[in-house]
Amino acid sequence: MENLKGEKIGEYDYNYRYKSTYITHHIDEFFDEKRKIRLVLLKKETRKGDIFVKLPSSIWVTCPGYPPLSTDAALQHVFDRDLTLFFAGLPTVQSETHIKIFDGYLREKLAAKGIDYDKHSKELKEKTLARKINMTGFLYMKKDVIDESLAPSLLDIVCSAYEEVLKSEPCECPVNDWVQRIVGDQSVTEFHLFKKEGFDVPLSGQRAFFTMLLDQRELPDKEDDFSSGIEKMIKEK
């Protein structure tokens, strides 16, 4: 992951309580000016009494001309059951070359760890295809255990796979379509999921979180008629 980091340009703390649930977020943002790579690193915890969901190191990486890299690592204790989860994928990927590079690298490196990439990739690809989403990647779960070592061991491999993709020819992807889907539809899905698991997480809070994590940081300069009119009035006075 270190090779994808540029200068640290942002640090966000977004924490709140809603009813009996406490939610903490810490986000670090890095930008490589030369390569135009933006990396957002998230640490999050949602806790209500003895139940919790922790995201120890999830990342969102973007680079113009390439699909984004999205990962999610979760440690969960809900209903007296433990779960460790790791997801990594390239949402909106358009290039078959990008898919081949990413899949091939992960297939080889994960096999050395006893993980069958194709097995854990198949269901993810089928679900996203059914929703008309271009995606490649994998979802790996370990039931009945909290394994804090899983995410760090897989994250470096995934980031190295993405670096290989960035060495290939670019192919534009509709990244903003994915962002709007997550901020919109996925926020609703997450709201109901948290509620089902016993947490109190407001829909507005979930949308704000996704916006901070994924949405655009800047826009090109624009001078509208209203602003121009205000400036003119000030100068005339």
From CA 73, how far away is CA 56, in angstroms rounded? 6
Residue 237: predicted pLDDT: 60
Residue 56: CB atoms within 10 Å? 16
pLDDT tens, residue by residue, 73-106: 999 999 999 999 999 999 999 999 999 999 999 9
Tokens (6 digits) for 150: 């899983």
Tally of structural domains, the chain: 1
Domain of 49, in residue numbers: 2-236
pLDDT confidence band for 126 (50 / 70 / 90): confident
pTM over 0.95: no
β strands within the chain, DSSP E: 7-18, 21-32, 37-48, 51-62, 69-78, 81-89, 137-143
CB 79 within 8 A of CB 137: no
Percentage above 90 pLDDT, the chain: 86
Rg (CA), the chain: 20
**Widest Cα–Cα separation across the chain:** 74
Which residue type occupies 6? Answer: G
Residue 224 burial (10 A CB sphere; 0-12, 13-18, 19+): exposed
Helix (H), strand (E) at residue 118: helix 117-130
Tokens (6 digits) for 38: 């933006």
**What b-and-e string marks burial along 23-43, b requiring 16 or more CB atoms within 10 Å of the CB?**
bebebbbbbeeeeebbbbbbe
CB 39 within 8 A of CB 30: yes
Q: What is the dihedral of CA 164, 165, 167, 171, to 10 degrees?
A: 180
Beta bridge partners of 84: 75, 142
pLDDT tens, residue by residue, 6-46: 999 999 999 999 999 999 999 999 999 999 999 999 999 99
Residue 177: predicted pLDDT: 92
